[in-house]
Structure 1
């Protein structure tokens, strides 16, 4: 994204938080950025389009930090706690903006916003599922979706206390506690044999099959773009990686080896984290 567009986004979110979305005009945003109104429209076709890009921008920031953690050699429990922690921290940074949106109920309901919200829900489901599988393995095979939804509910309940009620909590300690609650859930299901309400059949009807392929397609396109601006050794690594991740039965050992090569350069850590998250390696 261009620096000017990021400048507009950052100033807009300050104005939205201070004045509210509905009462902030495009002219005021342009004035805050020291640009003309026409220059604003070179980057965003409307204020609604800007708001959508605000959501996209900050969701990408969270995803990037999460992917960087995924690319580390930390154990699955530590990764999950750190990923939950940065998610809370990034959301808390924009508490005033979130509060203003809640009070105004001013988010325009349109297809783009609806698609964004759906994308975030699906991403959240898969984020919890993949991390919980990495932590608990076969112990959670039958109850993975149930525990996933219960974990999301806990995360949101604490978030409401922090954002809406203004409760101050040690976020890292909170995330460690949330994971311990997951331990209790997994242990309880396994001890009692209680059957989950939510299973694969239900969630397969919720998340379209092509959503998984779209995620992989995005990763593939990112790698192809980065390949054009790389030296010969990196080009070979990316070529092997592209071929492997698109196989019907990719070899995880090969993928891990190629990622180890890429992760020597900081610019590849984000996409490497996405691949590790997708294949849970």
Structure 2
């Protein structure tokens, strides 16, 4: 386990147990067996660490959910397994989530909005694949509505997991929800929402702006983990362009060419080029 991951995991345990405000950096470094200097070389502040914890947990959730597509199971089982994983991960980190609810830690900054936007879009993509597999391509026009409806259905059960000591059978619950989703799909008529609606109402931005926010979030993660100066410089130039109202496409395309040798940037480069072609 690298130092950054160790700090994230130890700090999340301390925050869940003691609370964010009452946990000191000294307590975190003591738990990790490192110096304060080493901590501040990794994170600028306790607040930036808290954001990194959210980023780390959401990444783990998405990675685990993605494994459902590698299993040789039918569409009903795959959709149910997706829900089971979601509930299990929330149960695993419920104490940390409760701490956030209790202390109402302020993370309403631009970086957090980008993370939430990216997570929301990834959740939509995963559900899209699951719903199309189960209900066929005819469901495509209804995906934005189904996304909102299903998230609304699961929200109440998630609140029970977080806020109460009630022990739910997640497999039984997930199978039950799949039956309810089947009933919803059977009753669908004319679509109400489109993708602009679901990606715009939470962040207050258009679909294009949400995509830019997603790209900026990916860029931030690459820049954070980069140990190559040339790669970092290219990412910084792209970042500056993304912040402008009028993006200079040739500049970004040139920087993307610089990033081609770096395998870890391949997904970002592909997404960036798709955005430029719009």
The C-alpha deviation readout for 1:200-254, integer Å capped at 9, x for no partner, is: 5634765338839959x99x98996279xxxxxxxxxx9xxxxx99999xxxxxx
The C-alpha deviation readout for 1:81-101, integer Å capped at 9, x for no partner, is: 212211211111111111111
* Residue in structure 1 matched with residue 8 of structure 2 by the alignment: 9
Matching of residue 176 in structure 1 with residue 175 in structure 2 = yes
Check the 8 A contact 2:15/2:99 in 1, yes or no. yes
Q: Structure 2: which 5+ residue stretches go unaligned?
A: 201-205, 220-255
Matching of residue 70 in structure 1 with residue 69 in structure 2 = yes
Deviation at 1:117, TM superposition (A): 1.8
* Residue in structure 2 matched with residue 105 of structure 1 by the alignment: 104
- CA distance, structure 1, for counterparts of residue 211 and residue 176 of structure 2: 31
Where does 1:34-183 land on structure 2 (aligned, <5 Å)? 34-183=33-182
- CA distance, structure 2, for counterparts of residue 106 and residue 71 of structure 1: 37
Report the number of matched residues.
230
- CA distance, structure 2, for counterparts of residue 179 and residue 89 of structure 1: 17
Check the 8 A contact 2:90/2:161 in 1, yes or no. no
- CA distance, structure 2, for counterparts of residue 47 and residue 246 of structure 1: 31
Check the 8 A contact 2:75/2:133 in 1, yes or no. yes
- CA distance, structure 1, for counterparts of residue 186 and residue 47 of structure 2: 46
Q: Secondary structure of 2:50's partner?
A: helix
Given candidates 217, 225, 235, the residue that maps to 2:263 is: 225
Check the 8 A contact 1:122/1:207 in 2, yes or no. no
Check the 8 A contact 1:69/1:82 in 2, yes or no. yes
* Residue in structure 1 matched with residue 241 of structure 2 by the alignment: none
* Residue in structure 2 matched with residue 207 of structure 1 by the alignment: 207
The C-alpha deviation readout for 1:44-98, integer Å capped at 9, x for no partner, is: 1111111111111111111111222212333333222212211211111111111
Check the 8 A contact 2:65/2:85 in 1, yes or no. yes
Deviation at 1:32, TM superposition (A): 1.2
Deviation at 1:109, TM superposition (A): 2.4
Q: Structure 1: which 5+ residue stretches go unaligned?
A: 228-237, 239-243, 249-281
TM-score, length of structure 1 as denominator length: 0.70
Change (3 A) 1:47 1:143: same
Change (3 A) 1:116 1:247: closer
Q: CA RMSD in A?
A: 3.5
- CA distance, structure 1, for counterparts of residue 122 and residue 114 of structure 2: 12
- CA distance, structure 2, for counterparts of residue 7 and residue 246 of structure 1: 32
- CA distance, structure 1, for counterparts of residue 123 and residue 159 of structure 2: 17
- CA distance, structure 2, for counterparts of residue 245 and residue 111 of structure 1: 20
* Residue in structure 1 matched with residue 187 of structure 2 by the alignment: 188
- CA distance, structure 1, for counterparts of residue 150 and residue 144 of structure 2: 10
- CA distance, structure 2, for counterparts of residue 156 and residue 27 of structure 1: 37
Considering Cα pairs closer than 8 Å and 6+ residues apart, tell me whether 1 or 2 has the greater RCO: 1
